[in-house]
Amino acid sequence: MAPTIVLITGANRGIGKGLLSLYLAKPNHTVIAANRDPSHPTSKALFDLPKAEGTSLILVKIDATVPTDAADAVNSLASQGINHVDILIANAGIAYLWPTVADVKVADMQKHFETNVYGVVYLYQAFLPVLKKSNNPRWVSIGSGSGFLTLLANSCSVKNMIPVQNAAYGPSKVVLHWLTKAIQIEEPVITAFPIDPGWVQTDMGNLGAELRGLEKAILTVEESVAGLMKVIDAATKETHSGRLWKYDGEQVQW
């Protein structure tokens, strides 16, 4: 049986690395770790992660801010015999400040959009033909509760991160959610959905927590990625595509 091919962007740390570790632990998988610098020590260290029988790891360069990187990655993978991808997890993203709308600088919004939105568009356009060669293609956008437009019942709790000031990062995730929903409409063969990983104890998540006077974010990486993988592996066009999900398997309103 041919291996399941999974590509994860931003795979050398945080949520991306957590997901990478779980997929490497599954037998008969080819897992592609994409990040901006495969030569970095954090990238090379990924080869030391445990691998299940029949599972292998490939590193590839994709810097979300470089318009040609995703297309170059497609060509590089093709030269290694990778002509399709079964699961593509668009995880790479940035968040480095949390201003109000009154205070946000357009330049900071643009930097967040460059990685969190434009980078995803480059990635999707480059890999669409490769995804469509899969028998069961899945596109998963790692979204955010910061991009929810509907207040949830417990929205005053820090667990939801709604409402908080977030005028640079939040809008970029709203657009990412929209793009992902559009993908599933435009491409009937692709199962596509965004999923909120929760407020996770990554560098980005903990920085946001510190700025709000908290010691750290709510969820461990292990808790988040275990839930994410469970949702991703269970996803079908009929049950999950075009819907907005949380890491714990709850479907939420846009």
Q: Coil, helix or strand for 251?
A: strand
Give the domain range for residue 161: 4-252
pLDDT in tens, 215-251: 888 899 999 999 999 999 999 999 999 999 999 999 9
CATH number at residue 102: 3.40.50.720
Cβ neighbours for 89, distance < 8 A, ≥ 6 positions apart: 6, 7, 8, 9, 16, 19, 140, 142, 232
Mean pLDDT, residues 154-180: 77
pLDDT bucket at 155, cuts 50 / 70 / 90: very low
pLDDT bucket at 160, cuts 50 / 70 / 90: very low
Residues with a known catalytic role: 169, 173
Q: Which of 37-41, 126-130, 163-167, 199-203 has the lowest mean pLDDT?
A: 163-167
pLDDT at 215: 82
Alpha carbon 244 to its chain's center = 14
Decide if pLDDT at 158 tops 70.
no
pLDDT bucket at 171, cuts 50 / 70 / 90: very high
Mean pLDDT, residues 159-185: 87
Decide if pLDDT at 1 tops 90.
no
The model scores a pTM over 0.85: yes
Domain count, the chain: 1
Q: Coil, helix or strand for 67?
A: coil
Mean pLDDT of the chain: 93
Share above pLDDT 90 across residues of the chain, in percent, rounded to a whole number: 85
Evaluate whether 191 touches 236 at the Cβ level (below 8 Å): yes
pLDDT in tens, 80-106: 999 999 999 999 999 999 999 999 999
Amino acid at 56: S
Share above pLDDT 70 across residues of the chain, in percent, rounded to a whole number: 94
pLDDT at 103: 97
pLDDT in tens, 2-32: 999 999 999 999 999 999 999 999 999 999 9
Evaluate whether 6 touches 89 at the Cβ level (below 8 Å): yes
pLDDT in tens, 180-208: 999 999 999 999 999 999 989 887 887 77
pLDDT at 250: 95
